[in-house]
Structure 1
């Protein structure tokens, strides 16, 4: 295990149950690596893993991992809630259509509240993939704010750490006002950026903690 991955694990070990972690990246970053490190760490720690998969984002991550020669067996075992999309990846517990945001949020809340009751005595992580796509589907600012409001409701959930993977390029070009709202609700904000040397893109990324409820983590920077 290299120092970059070890430092990522140190970061995750420093998070408190109930936190909401916003992982921001742009379209030049391949976030599947961080995703795989995260679920591998969670499995080794005995945490339950729930993945909220918006519009087949999990399929994209799994395909990229396979192309990179990484074993994807851990994904096949994970519990998954699919929001939109058609492709089955993982142990799909629930499918919810994405064409009606208010109904989607109501149905999701009913399912997720029951799920939390069942696992309330176990530690776990919840990973939301493709959140920027869901926000892009919102037909009004009100619907976008409804999504944010639901995320706020589950911040502080006992025993759960939630990770939201967000492509900020998507929101910059469509619903820019949502980025600061997501950063406001998050207890920790992590920015993932491709390293650059002058005009050339380097083959590694920097993970920087831009905000943290644990003050010791602020400014923490990892090269992976």
Structure 2
């Protein structure tokens, strides 16, 4: 049984964290494009967290497929490392082991954005989430602090949903399973990038279903 991506997304509740898993050979940029389009159509503001130029990679893959990528130019972006600037850059922060420093820097950057959007539900899309974990995934203590301070804390914040794209082949078993435990929903992209498999959902009837991009 299949559903459209918009049908799946409209059921995602306030404060949820959706993990989108993909492999190096699949096409996650198609899902990214569809999520941004859905948010625009439903009047939800989008905030992009771009880790190590992943947004640029997604944009170029879409361009090679013949998509109009001009929409990227207007996306508000928090740049975490990387050199290629895409979208409307709100500020830059570094991937550092001290998560408190990182969160303070990130908070200062996004505060004006959230003040401006007010009470509207924001779709926060994190691109390259797995790359953030690579430097710390061999350290269980630092990894646990990441999920405590970043992932679980975000789930407690109302007025936003988080969608995190992760190349799971970059993660070790402990890091991947920690992600899967913390996420409220998990989608796995097929190789062609046009179908997602629901691996986890608070709506048990959805588990095992497919989602069309």
TM-score, normalized by length of structure 1? Answer: 0.85
Change (3 A) 1:101 1:33: farther
Shift in alpha-carbon separation, 1:67–1:217, aligned structure 2, 3 A: same
Aligned residue in 2 for 1:200? none
Q: Distance in 2 between matches of 1:67 and 1:208?
A: 25
CA RMSD of superposed structures (Å): 2.1
1:177 equivalent to 2:174? Answer yes
Deviation at 1:116, TM superposition (A): 3.7
**Pairwise mapping of residues 61-210 of structure 1 onto structure 2 (< 5 A)?**
61-102=58-99, 103-112=101-110, 115-138=113-136, 140-149=139-148, 150-171=150-171, 175-194=172-191, 203=192, 205-210=194-199
**In the alignment, which residue of structure 1 is the partner of 2:19?**
22
Aligned residues: 209
Selected match of 1:216 from 205, 209, 213: 205
Aligned partners of 1:204 and 1:223 also within 8 Å: no
Q: Is the 8 A contact 1:25 1:193 kept in 2?
A: yes
Q: 1:157 to 1:214 in 2, by over 3 A?
A: farther
Higher relative contact order, structure no. (Cα contacts within 8 Å, ≥ 6 residues apart): 2
1:189–1:31 Cα change, 3 Å: same
Whole-Å separation in 2 of the counterparts to 1:60 and 1:12: 24
Q: 1:16 & 1:136 partners in 2: Cα distance? A: 29
The worse-fitting range, judged by mean Cα deviation, of 21-30 and 117-126 is 117-126
Q: Report if aligned partners of 2:31, 2:193 keep a CA contact under 8 Å in 1.
A: no
Residues 1:13 and 2:2 are matched in the alignment: no
Is residue 152–residue 182 contact of structure 2 (8 Å, CA) maintained in 1? yes
Counterpart in the other structure of 1:199: none
What is the CA-CA distance between 1:21 and the residue it aligns to? 0.2
Separation of aligned partners in 2, 1:216 and 1:113: 37
5+ long unaligned stretches in structure 2: none
SS at match of 2:180: helix
Match of 1:197 in 2: none
Q: Between 134-143 and 155-164, report the one with greater CA deviation.
A: 134-143
Cα gap change, 1:101 to 1:32, in 2 (>3 Å): farther
Q: Which moved more, 1:58-67 or 1:13-22?
A: 13-22
Residue segments in structure 1 that go unaligned for 5+ positions in a row: 195-202
